[in-house]
Amino acid sequence: MYDNILIPVAFGEDRDHARAEQVAKHLSSDGALITLLHVLEQIPVYAAEFVPSDLVIGNRERLATRLQVMAAELPNGQSALIEGATGRSITDYAQQHGVDLIVMPSHQPALSDILLGSTAAWVTRHAPCAVHVIR
């Protein structure tokens, strides 16, 4: 059983977060911390000047609220919203916060995922802890 579980959440994609939450609850010890993490990809410098700052701030606030609502439905749930490159940010967060299990939904890989690598593949290769990928 695990004491500190991380569930990366990607909005706007067809991912099964409910199943990831069920698996996390099943694998958690009594009183385990379950964290829902969303990573905001940084806007490329060449495009940043064309994106209104109030749009970025509003989007961040909406995502943070959505995560908090989702986390409130979990036992000992919490949410975190960070910025960076998705795969690396997930593994860095896990390392910095003593996560002992990452439960993440995945999608059916396309040829581009095989050639370039998906977020789940990155996390699986670089995580400092166990990773449970749901397909």
What integer pLDDT is reported at residue 116 of this predicted model? 37
Count of domains for the chain: 1
Q: Which residues form the domain of 127?
A: 2-134
Burial of 129 (0-12, 13-18, 19+ CB in 10 A): middle
pTM of the model: 0.89
83-115: pLDDT as tens digits: 999 999 999 999 999 999 999 987 666 555 554
13-42: pLDDT as tens digits: 566 688 999 999 999 999 999 999 999 988
Q: For residues 124 and 46, which has the higher predicted lDDT (pLDDT)?
A: 124
For residue 10, the SS3 value is: coil
Is the CB of residue 96 less than 8 Å from the CB of residue 67? no
Percent of the chain with pLDDT over 70: 88
> Where residue 60 sits, what CATH number does that domain have?
3.40.50.620
